[in-house]
Structure 1
Amino acid sequence: MRIMLLLCWGLVPFFLGAYHYGPGQAQLKLDDVDRRVKAAQTAEEQGNWNQAVALYNEALPMVPSDNVKEAQKLRLERDKAMMFNGQLPDAYLDLQALLDELQAEEKPDQELLKQTRSAMANAEYYVTWTLRLEGVGKEGWEPIIESSRQNYRLLAENAAKADNKSELKEQQENLEAVIRLANLDLTDLQGIPIPKQCKCKGCCNGVCNGKKKGKKKGKGQKKAKDNRGASASPPPDKSGS
Structure 2
Amino acid sequence: MRKYLVLAWLLLPLPVVVMHFGRGQEWLARDKAHSIIQRAEAAEKKGEWQSAYELYREADRTAGSQDRQLKLRLDLARARTGFRVGEAVASIDGMDKLLDDAATATMPAEFQQETHELAARLHYYAGWVMRLEGAKRELWMEEAELARQNFRLLSEHYSDPKNEDQTHRQKEDLESAVQLQRLSLTELMARPLPEEGRAMSGQGLSEQMGKRRGQRGKQPGRGPNDKGPPAPGGGMRRFQPGSGS
Distance in structure 1 (CA, Å) of the matches to 2:161 and 2:27: 37
| Map of 1:54 onto structure 2 | 54
Task: Specify which structure has the higher proportion of helix.
Answer: 2
**Counterpart residue type for residue 179 of structure 1:** V
Distance in structure 2 (CA, Å) of the matches to 1:160 and 1:111: 11
Distance in structure 2 (CA, Å) of the matches to 1:46 and 1:105: 28
CA contact (8 A) 1:30 1:63 kept: yes
Distance in structure 2 (CA, Å) of the matches to 1:16 and 1:179: 61
| Map of 2:169 onto structure 1 | 170
Q: 1:167 to 1:8 in 2, by over 3 A?
A: farther
CA deviation vs aligned residue, 1:107-139 (integer Å, no higher than 9, x gap) = 454332221111000000110011100111222
Q: How far 1:162 moved relative to its partner?
A: 6.5
1:77 to 2:77 alignment: yes
1:29 to 2:25 alignment: no
Distance in structure 2 (CA, Å) of the matches to 1:161 and 1:143: 29
Structure 2 matches for 1:157-236, cutoff 5 A?
157-160=156-159, 164-197=163-196
Q: How far 1:154 moved relative to its partner?
A: 0.9
CA contact (8 A) 2:37 2:55 kept: yes
| Map of 1:132 onto structure 2 | 131
The CA RMSD over aligned residues, in Å, is: 2.8
Distance in structure 1 (CA, Å) of the matches to 2:9 and 2:46: 51
**Counterpart residue type for residue 137 of structure 1:** K
| TM-score, normalization by structure 2 | 0.70
Q: Which has the higher contact order (CA 8 A, sep 6+)?
A: 2
| Map of 1:143 onto structure 2 | 142
Distance in structure 2 (CA, Å) of the matches to 1:161 and 1:193: 30
Distance in structure 1 (CA, Å) of the matches to 2:109 and 2:31: 26
Q: 1:105 to 1:79 in 2, by over 3 A?
A: closer
Q: Could you list the runs of 5+ residues in structure 2 that have no partner in the other structure?
A: 198-245
Distance in structure 1 (CA, Å) of the matches to 2:17 and 2:177: 58
Q: How far 1:62 moved relative to its partner?
A: 2.4
Distance in structure 2 (CA, Å) of the matches to 1:42 and 1:68: 23
Q: 1:61 to 1:162 in 2, by over 3 A?
A: farther
**Counterpart residue type for residue 178 of structure 1:** A
**Counterpart residue type for residue 179 of structure 2:** R
Q: Could you list the runs of 5+ residues in structure 1 that have no partner in the other structure?
A: 199-241
Q: How far 1:61 moved relative to its partner?
A: 2.3
CA deviation vs aligned residue, 1:9-45 (integer Å, no higher than 9, x gap) = 8766443322211211000000111111111112112
| TM-score, normalization by structure 1 | 0.71
CA contact (8 A) 2:155 2:167 kept: yes
| Map of 2:88 onto structure 1 | 88
CA contact (8 A) 2:160 2:166 kept: no
Q: How far 1:72 moved relative to its partner?
A: 0.6
Q: 1:133 to 1:99 in 2, by over 3 A?
A: same
Distance in structure 2 (CA, Å) of the matches to 1:6 and 1:45: 58
| Map of 2:119 onto structure 1 | 120
Q: 1:133 to 1:77 in 2, by over 3 A?
A: same
CA contact (8 A) 1:159 1:167 kept: no
Q: 1:173 to 1:8 in 2, by over 3 A?
A: farther
CA contact (8 A) 1:95 1:116 kept: yes
Distance in structure 1 (CA, Å) of the matches to 2:56 and 2:92: 16
| Map of 1:44 onto structure 2 | 44
